[in-house]
Structure 1
Amino acid sequence: MSHHSASSIGVIGLGAMGLGTATALLDAGLAVIGCDISAQARETFASRGGRSVATPTELAAECDRVVVMVVNAEQVDAVLFGEQGLVGVMAPGSLILQCATVAPSYAQELGERLAQVNLLMLDAPVSGGVAKARSGELSVMSSGSEAAYAKGQAVLDAMAATVYRLGAEPGAGSSVKLVNQHLAGVHIAAAAEAMALGLRMGLDPDMLYEVIIHSAGNSWMFQNRVPHILKGDYTPLSAVDIFVKDLNIVHQAGRELQLSMPVASSALQQFTAASGAGLGREDDSAVIKVYQRLSAFDLPAANDSDGQG
């Protein structure tokens, strides 16, 4: 199936991160084909000048490098090995950049499965959020062979400000990403709990935010997420359910390693409670609503002007 035009770059998963990355690749002058089961996601990419298809199989015939930005390992498997998957259609020697947050053991196993069918893989989870995806300035925590890096260089250059090369085998990138997700989840939950404390004490939330971001208790997540709470705007940039998933992977890794992580477990319970309360699709900062429902304090209301009501 391989012919001379199989040099496009595919991006599978045109969600917030995938759409931003696909657009950044377009901006860099690369030939990009998007792929998403959602027609709306495909239309959004089209409005940015991108072309997209509905199935990985359609994409595979035209691409020799594919960025996979789906939600979990189950979706990664479907995209690669499912009925309409890439594997079996992509030309030998093509590259999969696997960017979803998955268990390190899964990433390792995936590398072996792809090697058996002569496909290269970079274990390449990303960090930096939606704005950095769009501007092509993500951090990529990656591992893989020299051949995989050589094949993926142009893609990495266009999507990332920093590419950490963490090892020669898939698994190392996902292991470092897991440490990041532990901290990200814990810091969001901690920021929510601390703001709940401040609100319960009757403090002005904007004043409190201003003091904390200039104090030792600040974190990147506090500074980034608390403004959503201050505006009363829980439109998801990253949803509560993402941290239910990622902190569960942290928890699973801890079980495999017999490493107790009570702080991560505590954060996981708060996100699980938020999801159980029907907040799973709201912004992850909505974990503060768990505290609010269990205690008597009011959260800042949304401005009626911004349509969030």
Structure 2
Amino acid sequence: MAEQIDRVGVVGLGAMGMGIAQSLLRAGLEVHACDVRDEAVRALVAQGGHAAASPAELAGKVDAMLIVVVNAAQTEQVLFGENGAAFQLKPGSVVIANATVAPEFAEALGARLLGMGLRFIDAPISGGAAKAATGQMSVMAAGAPETFDACTRIFDAICAKLYRLGDQPGQGSKVKMINQLLAGVHIAAAAEAMALGLRAGCDPDALYEVISNSAGSSWMFQNRVPHILKGDYTPLSAVNIFVKDLGIVLDYAKKSVFPLPLSATAHQMFMQASAAGHGGEDDSAVVKVFPGITLPGSRP
């Protein structure tokens, strides 16, 4: 049995990162954290965590760090930017990267860290803020078996399902990419269906109830349409996330000369919503691209 890591850092205390850090604390691990928002760090300290002023400072205090940021650029900045962590981590420390990134980025990052004497797990996450807060996420991960063994307590704390997808970084990101293809298409399809229903004069609450219990339903329909019905576009996952994630999907397919007509259409819908000023709203705000409808919670 590998020696277990119990000093863990979390960089990024957003909707997912805060829940991850709290889950690690509940499991009895020593948790250090940093975030660009001081109030988020203070909130975690009040629950028993330890503050770090920068990724570099955090790196000197932990044996594994989770990078829970938005994209590849932020992951790169955390590790190799000013006050980056990579050069302060002790040899043999583990970097667990949780952002949705292009598979080739994850592959290159793994090789770069290995060359520095560090260990790496490519570990994008799914489940949203609610499942992060309860330690019930799904994690799509790839890395060396001995590295997983050392991180057993970490993954036991943060996820209900850990999918070990091979030894090579990039495999986790490939599976997450496919998940995001489906998630984005399903949200766009749910928005389109509700928009047509509203235009046709259907009662929106009745329409949601019927479809949720019929063959046309999906997890995204059941999860996102209530946001539309309430007229509440507080971002849990923003429109711009799917501008990015479906962009990753389409870029990968383009390099493979592989057609993705549904993904391309959904991407354009999210792009249209973002261009109209809704990029920071909940991804269900993609429904706002449809003309001639009165949305719940809005004025006629």
Fold-level match, TM-score > 0.5?
yes
CA distance in 2, matches of 1:260, 1:44: 46
Cα deviation code 1:7-31 (max 9, x no counterpart): 5100111110001111111111111
The residue correspondences of 1:106-185 to structure 2 (distance < 5 A) are 106-185=105-184
What amino acid does structure 2 have at the position aligned with 1:282? E
Aligned mates of 1:150, 1:272 — CA distance in 2: 41
Unaligned ranges ≥5, structure 1? 1-5, 303-309
CA distance in 1, matches of 2:18, 2:289: 31
| CA displacement at 1:146 relative to structure 2 | 1.2
Corresponding residue number in structure 1 for 2:249: 250
Alignment of 1:297 with 2:293, yes or no, is yes
Ranges in structure 2 where 5+ consecutive residues have no aligned partner: none
Q: In the TM superposition, what is the alpha-carbon distance from 1:47 to its structure 2 partner?
A: 4.1
Cα offset, 1:81, TM superposition: 1.0
TM-score (structure 2 length as normaliser): 0.96
Cα distance per residue 1:126-159 (max 9 Å; x no partner): 1111100000011000111012111211101100
User: After the TM superposition, which parts of structure 1 deviate over 4 Å for at least 4 consecutive aligned residues?
Assistant: none
- Hey, what's the Cα distance between the residues in 1 that align with 2:198 and 2:87? 56
1:274-296 deviations in whole A, cap 9, x for unaligned?
A: 111111111000010111xxx22
Alpha-carbon distance in 1 for matches of 2:151, 2:65: 9
The superposition leaves residues 194-224 of structure 1 with CA deviations (integer Å, 9 ceiling, x where unpaired) of 0000000010111000000101110100000
Given that 2:6 and 2:29 are in contact with CA atoms closer than 8 Å, whether structure 1 keeps it comes out as no
Counterpart residue number, 1:101? 100
Percent identical: 54
Aligned to 2:79: 80
Give SS of 2:247's match. Answer: helix
Measured in 1, the distance between the counterparts of 2:81 and 2:174 equals: 25
Q: TM-score w.r.t. structure 1 length?
A: 0.93
Moved more, 50-59 or 184-193: 50-59
Change over 3 Å in CA distance of 1:47–1:191 after alignment to 2: farther
Alignment partners' CA distance in 1, 2:45 and 2:280: 25
State how far apart, in whole Å, the 1-side matches of 2:293 and 2:274 are.
21
Q: How many residues are matched? A: 295
Amino acid at match of 2:93: S
Cα-to-partner distance string for 1:23-60 (whole Å, 9 max, x where unaligned): 11111111111111122322332343432223101100
Counterpart for residue 12 of structure 1: 11
2:71 equivalent to 1:65: no
Letter in 2 for 1:40: E
CA displacement 1:78-134 (0-9 Å, x = unmatched): 111112111111110010111100000110111100000011111100111110000
